[in-house]
Amino acid sequence: MLSERMQKALNDQIRIEAESSQIYLAMASWSEVKGLEGIAQFMYGQSDEERMHMLKFFKYINERGGHAVVSELNKPSVEFGSIKEMFETLFKHEVFVSQSINELVHISLEEKDYATHNFLQWYVAEQIEEEAQARTILDKINLIGDDKGGLYLFDNDIKQLTVVSSVAPGA
Protein backbone atom coordinates (compact mmCIF):
# COMPACT_ATOMS: atom_id res chain seq x y z
CA MET A 1 0.00 0.00 0.00
CA LEU A 2 1.30 3.44 -0.94
CA SER A 3 1.48 6.18 1.68
CA GLU A 4 -0.40 9.39 0.90
CA ARG A 5 2.92 11.21 0.53
CA MET A 6 4.30 8.62 -1.91
CA GLN A 7 1.06 8.53 -3.91
CA LYS A 8 1.05 12.33 -4.25
CA ALA A 9 4.70 12.38 -5.32
CA LEU A 10 4.10 9.64 -7.90
CA ASN A 11 1.04 11.46 -9.24
CA ASP A 12 3.14 14.62 -9.51
CA GLN A 13 5.60 12.59 -11.60
CA ILE A 14 2.76 11.47 -13.86
CA ARG A 15 2.15 15.14 -14.67
CA ILE A 16 5.87 15.68 -15.36
CA GLU A 17 5.99 12.67 -17.71
CA ALA A 18 2.82 13.84 -19.50
CA GLU A 19 4.25 17.34 -19.87
CA SER A 20 7.49 15.82 -21.19
CA SER A 21 5.50 14.02 -23.86
CA GLN A 22 3.81 17.31 -24.81
CA ILE A 23 7.13 19.20 -24.89
CA TYR A 24 8.62 16.65 -27.30
CA LEU A 25 5.45 16.68 -29.39
CA ALA A 26 5.78 20.48 -29.72
CA MET A 27 9.45 20.03 -30.69
CA ALA A 28 8.46 17.41 -33.29
CA SER A 29 5.92 19.74 -34.85
CA TRP A 30 8.37 22.67 -34.89
CA SER A 31 11.03 20.49 -36.53
CA GLU A 32 8.61 19.07 -39.08
CA VAL A 33 7.47 22.56 -40.11
CA LYS A 34 11.14 23.53 -40.56
CA GLY A 35 11.66 20.58 -42.94
CA LEU A 36 13.73 18.59 -40.45
CA GLU A 37 12.11 15.21 -41.01
CA GLY A 38 14.71 13.19 -39.08
CA ILE A 39 14.61 15.41 -36.01
CA ALA A 40 10.80 15.43 -36.15
CA GLN A 41 10.74 11.62 -36.32
CA PHE A 42 13.14 11.45 -33.36
CA MET A 43 10.99 13.85 -31.32
CA TYR A 44 7.77 11.98 -32.11
CA GLY A 45 9.50 8.86 -30.79
CA GLN A 46 10.63 10.71 -27.66
CA SER A 47 7.08 11.94 -27.10
CA ASP A 48 5.74 8.38 -27.33
CA GLU A 49 8.43 7.16 -24.94
CA GLU A 50 7.53 9.77 -22.33
CA ARG A 51 3.87 8.78 -22.60
CA MET A 52 4.87 5.16 -21.92
CA HIS A 53 6.84 6.34 -18.86
CA MET A 54 3.68 8.08 -17.65
CA LEU A 55 1.58 4.96 -18.18
CA LYS A 56 4.04 2.84 -16.18
CA PHE A 57 3.52 5.20 -13.23
CA PHE A 58 -0.25 5.03 -13.72
CA LYS A 59 -0.33 1.26 -13.59
CA TYR A 60 2.10 1.09 -10.66
CA ILE A 61 0.09 3.49 -8.49
CA ASN A 62 -3.16 1.64 -9.17
CA GLU A 63 -1.55 -1.79 -8.63
CA ARG A 64 -0.28 -0.62 -5.23
CA GLY A 65 -3.76 0.36 -4.06
CA GLY A 66 -3.46 4.03 -4.88
CA HIS A 67 -5.34 6.12 -7.41
CA ALA A 68 -3.46 7.50 -10.41
CA VAL A 69 -4.92 10.80 -11.55
CA VAL A 70 -4.93 12.80 -14.75
CA SER A 71 -4.01 16.40 -14.05
CA GLU A 72 -4.00 19.63 -15.96
CA LEU A 73 -0.82 20.19 -17.99
CA ASN A 74 1.20 23.32 -18.63
CA LYS A 75 1.28 24.32 -22.29
CA PRO A 76 4.75 23.78 -23.79
CA SER A 77 6.63 26.32 -25.87
CA VAL A 78 5.96 25.95 -29.57
CA GLU A 79 8.90 28.06 -30.81
CA PHE A 80 12.53 27.19 -30.17
CA GLY A 81 14.64 29.76 -32.03
CA SER A 82 17.16 27.26 -33.38
CA ILE A 83 17.91 23.55 -33.39
CA LYS A 84 20.65 24.16 -30.83
CA GLU A 85 18.28 26.06 -28.52
CA MET A 86 15.69 23.30 -28.88
CA PHE A 87 18.15 20.57 -27.90
CA GLU A 88 19.50 22.71 -25.03
CA THR A 89 15.90 22.93 -23.80
CA LEU A 90 15.58 19.16 -24.16
CA PHE A 91 18.77 18.57 -22.16
CA LYS A 92 17.74 20.96 -19.36
CA HIS A 93 14.35 19.27 -19.21
CA GLU A 94 15.93 15.81 -18.90
CA VAL A 95 18.12 17.07 -16.03
CA PHE A 96 14.94 18.39 -14.35
CA VAL A 97 13.23 15.00 -14.81
CA SER A 98 16.29 13.24 -13.34
CA GLN A 99 16.15 15.49 -10.28
CA SER A 100 12.46 14.70 -9.89
CA ILE A 101 13.08 10.94 -10.11
CA ASN A 102 15.90 11.28 -7.56
CA GLU A 103 13.48 13.05 -5.20
CA LEU A 104 11.02 10.15 -5.60
CA VAL A 105 13.79 7.71 -4.70
CA HIS A 106 14.58 9.82 -1.64
CA ILE A 107 10.93 9.81 -0.54
CA SER A 108 10.66 6.05 -1.10
CA LEU A 109 13.62 5.50 1.22
CA GLU A 110 12.26 7.88 3.86
CA GLU A 111 8.92 6.05 3.71
CA LYS A 112 10.69 2.67 3.80
CA ASP A 113 8.72 1.81 0.65
CA TYR A 114 11.18 -0.63 -0.87
CA ALA A 115 8.77 -1.83 -3.56
CA THR A 116 8.54 1.72 -4.92
CA HIS A 117 12.29 2.14 -4.50
CA ASN A 118 12.79 -0.98 -6.61
CA PHE A 119 10.25 0.21 -9.20
CA LEU A 120 12.04 3.57 -9.51
CA GLN A 121 15.43 2.03 -10.31
CA TRP A 122 14.34 1.54 -13.93
CA TYR A 123 13.65 5.28 -14.14
CA VAL A 124 17.02 6.13 -12.57
CA ALA A 125 18.79 4.09 -15.27
CA GLU A 126 16.53 5.50 -17.99
CA GLN A 127 17.37 9.07 -17.00
CA ILE A 128 21.10 8.38 -17.17
CA GLU A 129 20.51 7.21 -20.74
CA GLU A 130 18.25 10.18 -21.60
CA GLU A 131 20.79 12.72 -20.35
CA ALA A 132 23.65 10.96 -22.17
CA GLN A 133 21.67 10.98 -25.40
CA ALA A 134 20.82 14.68 -25.08
CA ARG A 135 24.49 15.47 -24.32
CA THR A 136 25.62 13.48 -27.39
CA ILE A 137 23.15 15.32 -29.62
CA LEU A 138 24.29 18.72 -28.29
CA ASP A 139 27.92 17.75 -28.91
CA LYS A 140 27.07 16.90 -32.53
CA ILE A 141 25.13 20.15 -33.01
CA ASN A 142 28.05 22.12 -31.59
CA LEU A 143 30.37 20.38 -34.08
CA ILE A 144 28.05 21.29 -36.97
CA GLY A 145 27.84 24.96 -36.01
CA ASP A 146 26.18 26.92 -38.83
CA ASP A 147 27.03 24.39 -41.56
CA LYS A 148 23.79 23.71 -43.48
CA GLY A 149 25.29 20.57 -45.04
CA GLY A 150 26.17 19.30 -41.60
CA LEU A 151 22.62 19.98 -40.40
CA TYR A 152 21.26 18.07 -43.39
CA LEU A 153 23.44 15.06 -42.54
CA PHE A 154 22.60 15.30 -38.84
CA ASP A 155 18.88 15.40 -39.64
CA ASN A 156 19.31 12.16 -41.57
CA ASP A 157 21.67 10.54 -39.04
CA ILE A 158 19.48 11.20 -35.97
CA LYS A 159 17.06 8.58 -37.29
CA GLN A 160 19.62 5.93 -36.33
CA LEU A 161 20.94 7.54 -33.14
CA THR A 162 21.46 5.13 -30.31
CA VAL A 163 23.43 5.83 -27.18
CA VAL A 164 24.69 2.90 -25.15
CA SER A 165 24.48 3.79 -21.49
CA SER A 166 26.84 2.45 -18.84
CA VAL A 167 23.75 1.19 -16.96
CA ALA A 168 21.85 -0.18 -19.94
CA PRO A 169 20.78 -3.82 -19.64
CA GLY A 170 23.45 -6.06 -21.08
CA ALA A 171 26.14 -3.35 -20.87
Q: From CA 114, how far away is CA 136, in angstroms rounded?
A: 33
Mean pLDDT across 51-75 = 97
pLDDT band with cut points at 50, 70 and 90 for residue 171:
very low
**Does the annotation flag 106 for ligand binding?**
no
Give the amino acid at 116: T
Domain borders along the chain are 4-160
**Predicted pLDDT of residue 98:** 98
Phi/psi of residue 17, each to 5°? -65, -40
Are 94 and 100 a contacting pair, CB within 8 Å? no
Mean pLDDT across 160-165 = 59
**Tens-place pLDDT, residues 75-113:** 999 999 999 999 999 999 999 999 999 999 999 999 999
**Tens-place pLDDT, residues 19-60:** 999 999 999 999 999 999 999 999 999 999 999 999 999 999
CA-wise closest residue to 94 among 19, 12, 154: 19
**Does the annotation flag 127 for ligand binding?**
yes
Orientation angle between helical segments 114-144 and 37-63, nearest 10 degrees: 170
The pTM of the full predicted model, rounded to 2 decimals, is: 0.90
Q: From CA 171, how far away is CA 151, in angstroms rounded?
A: 31
**Does the annotation flag 117 for ligand binding?**
no
CA-wise closest residue to 47 among 69, 25, 73: 25
Give the CATH number of domain 4-160; options: 3.60.110.10, 1.20.1260.10, 1.10.10.10, 3.40.50.150. 1.20.1260.10
**Does the annotation flag 126 for ligand binding?**
no
CA-wise closest residue to 108 among 57, 69, 55, 167: 57
